[in-house]
């Protein structure tokens, strides 16, 4: 069970059209190291993980378990069917048209 969160980094890199070499250059790491990371062969340090995520415009966040379904539905744009409504917007300001 390779860490799922690492797969997201690879997917994000491809989406942005970066090669392993290009991403490595931004991080000051060799392409070979990026390969190892994405393949789940090494257990990288937190600072490396954070740096890599941010270079891919991803912000690592800690979400309370009880809120993860709501957050996930936001991220995937799903038409969610949560038993408890995930969230309700404020209605205290004028909305855009």
The site for a second copy (CB under 8 A) is made up of 3, 5-6, 8-9, 12, 43-47, 49-50, 53, 57-68, 70-72, 74-75, 79-81, 84-90, 92-93, 95-96
Span interacting with DNA, options 16-24, 58-66, 72-80, 84-92, rule CB under 7 A: 16-24
Q: Which of 43, 19, 50 is nearest to 32 (CA)?
A: 19
Exposure b/e, 65-82, CB count within 10 A at least 16 = b:
eeeebbeebeeeeeeeee
CB of 57 to a second copy, least distance (A): 4
Choose from a second copy, DNA, none: what does 1 bind? Cβ within 5-8 Å by kind: none
Residue with tokens 């799903």: 78
Q: Which of 6, 56, 47, 46 is nearest to 26 (CA)?
A: 56
> Could you list the residues that contact DNA (CB under 7 A)?
14, 19-21, 27-33, 35-39, 41-45, 47-48
């Amino acid at each position: 069970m390779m860490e799922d969160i690492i797969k997201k980094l690879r997917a994000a890199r491809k989406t942005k059209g970066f090669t392993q070499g290009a991403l490595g250059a931004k991080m000051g790491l060799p392409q070979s190291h990026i390969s190892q990371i994405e393949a789940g062969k090494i257990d990288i340090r937190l600072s490396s993980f954070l740096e890599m995520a941010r270079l891919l415009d991803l912000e690592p966040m800690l979400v309370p378990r009880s809120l993860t379904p709501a957050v996930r539905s936001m991220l995937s744009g799903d038409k969610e069917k949560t038993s408890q409504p995930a969230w309700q917007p404020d209605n205290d300001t004028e909305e855009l048209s």
